[in-house]
Chain A
């Protein structure tokens, strides 16, 4: 519900800015300010932590001596991606060579932890989750995966360089960072035995909380399609993007990401 409200707010701001841009274009005003509306996704390469206090280790999926990637030998696999929608205003400086922008960003980060695939396919597909230990009794639950969905509101700051302009296509390079703050999160545990779903509410308390805040730094290259001072579309590839967070323990450890985004650019 809260996420929907934030998305609505972004869309309303976007709509009002778009209207103003159309009015200004009609009266032929020279523009040095642009508004962008973007949406995209980043796939984040994660390191699956091997020493989780609540997951029983298992036999390595590959012998380490045969692994060209150390993660191949690990018994857990971590996946993470983030999708976003953003609106921001860009001011052009130095004869449209440089663009400086700031805005607001809505991000949803999805993180999944599950068992690594075994090369032979003979091992089970589940992990053993330490649910409870009381006295001399220990209880494990078989777990297919843990999924954590977190939503953030962020503030992107970006610097764009527009080195050349070829007809209606403009290439640009970007250096940016966004500062994100947690709005809501939900953790879901998918148990192998569905009868164990009754323990989910208690079991998720063991899982690490998502980052309260994080910063993402990225470089990107993009194409703006459209005439100068006219509305246009842009396509960007972020590679790489780095996530920094101030928490020692998290469900997975992000390393770097790669992403794409599509956007609409309107002169103000």
Chain B
């Protein structure tokens, strides 16, 4: 009887945790007053990001996980994944998948909680310890950064009802780079994403 009770309590707690995570993993869009197609800068873990890739919109969508962190070979990669262009439907021919990855060499963490160390950090993307990659419509691009930075304005370890949930990374990015021999500008970049156990990879 006691065993059953314990099992039932365990299942209930697990289901509660799952339902809790589910809502925190959804994207909540609050438009920027000046650039209404971009999400407003926030620090609530709304799982959104957005920027202008030259004049095209690069932003999160409801089909891709907006952010992942990969820790590998003594470096940490922050990947933002969404689409390029006005928000199209996933099945639309206009849908162009795009991801942007910032590689931070020398920054290593064994689990997502270590990302809190990035709080209030400005990373110069021209630094040799950094690299920026993009993947646009299946085409991998190594970007030659001319200028720009990645700012993690706030990194917060989020607890919900006293349980560790994720790390919220909020900040800005913007840079100029050479892509396929042509200069491009990534401007007005901002992100507010939650990285939990499901979004953190180490291998």
Contacts and interface: CB of A to CB of B under 8 A. Distances in A.
A138 B158 contact: yes
B84 interface: no
Contacts of A196: 161-162
A123 B19 CA distance: 9
Interface of B: 16, 19-20, 22-24, 26-28, 30, 44-46, 116, 119, 155-162, 165, 168
Interface centre among B27, B30, B161, B165 (most CB of A within 10 A): B161
Nearest to A193: B161
A139 B23 contact: no
A148 B27 CA distance: 31
A242 interface: no
B168 A138 contact: yes
Contact of A136 (B46, B156, B165): B156
A139 B159 contact: yes
A195 B9 CA distance: 14
A57 B44 CA distance: 8
A253 to B, nearest CB: 19
23 contacts: A57-B44, A57-B46, A59-B27, A59-B28, A124-B19, A128-B23, A128-B160, A133-B156, A136-B156, A137-B159, A138-B157, A138-B159, A138-B168, A139-B160, A140-B158, A140-B159, A140-B161, A141-B160, A141-B161, A142-B161, A192-B161, A193-B161, A196-B161
A192 B142 CA distance: 47
Given A56-B44, A136-B116, A124 B23 contact: yes
A23 interface: no
B119 A58 contact: no
Nearest to B158: A138
Give the 9 A-B CB pairs with smallest separation, nearest first.
A138-B156, A136-B116, A193-B161, A139-B159, A140-B160, A136-B119, A57-B28, A56-B44, A137-B157
Contacts of A136: 116, 119, 155-157
Contacts of A59: 23, 26-28
A122 to B, nearest CB: 9
Contacts of B160: 128, 139-142
A57 B30 contact: yes
A210 B27 CA distance: 33
Nearest to A133: B156
A207 B106 CA distance: 44
Interface string A171-201: 0000000000000000000001101100000
Contacts of B46: 57
Contacts of B24: 128
Given A136-B119, A138-B168, A58 B23 contact: yes
B113 to A, nearest CB: 10
Given A133-B156, A142-B20, 19 more contacts: A56-B45, A57-B44, A58-B23, A59-B28, A128-B24, A128-B160, A136-B116, A136-B119, A136-B155, A137-B157, A138-B156, A138-B158, A138-B168, A139-B158, A139-B162, A140-B161, A142-B160, A193-B161, A195-B161
A84 B36 CA distance: 46
Contacts of B116: 136
B161 A137 contact: no
Contacts of B156: 133, 136-138
A265 to B, nearest CB: 54
A206 to B, nearest CB: 15
Query: Of residues A58, A59, A133, A138, which shows the largest number of chain B Cβ atoms within 10 Å of its Cβ?
Result: A138
Contacts of B30: 57
A57 B168 CA distance: 15
Interface string A241-265: 0000000000000000000000000
